[in-house]
Amino acid sequence: MRKRLLVTAVLVLFFAGLSFAAGSRASNTAKAGTYVGVITDTHCGLGPHHGPAAQCVKMCVRMGAKYALASQGKVYVLDPQSLAAKHPGGSQVRVTGTLEGNTIHATSIVALKTK
């Protein structure tokens, strides 16, 4: 009985270690880069805004949505939110930072001139 319990404990620890190692590898997939897109929010995302984009994004963020970047058909949450808050919704921006999952950890957000 003790031998069986010991073998079971060793197997559980072994598989727990494998799970931990796989999780560590997944979190190391952060990708540094520059991303160009439009400031939006996580509620409206790529869809139409309710009224002017700048007003809609502000309202959605006040109601709990997060500032985001709509780029190449995807929506990325921007972190820190304070950097994104400096740019009105609907404005074209260039974000420099690290993409991790669906979040861009921004080091800078610069407005692009529109033609």
The residue ranges of every structural domain in the chain are 31-111
Flag whether pLDDT at 2 surpasses 60: yes
CB atoms within 10 A of CB 23: 10
Helix (H, G, I), strand (E, B) or coil at 67: strand
The pLDDT, as a whole number, for residue 82 is 96
The pLDDT, as a whole number, for residue 50 is 86
The pLDDT, as a whole number, for residue 19 is 59
Residue in this structure with the two tokens 């010991």, named with its chain if needed:
6
- Closest by alpha carbon to 28, among 100, 104, 103, 102? 100
Flag whether pLDDT at 96 surpasses 80: yes
The pLDDT, as a whole number, for residue 3 is 78
Kindly state the average pLDDT of the residues 28-49: 92
Peptide bond into 48 cis (omega under 30): no
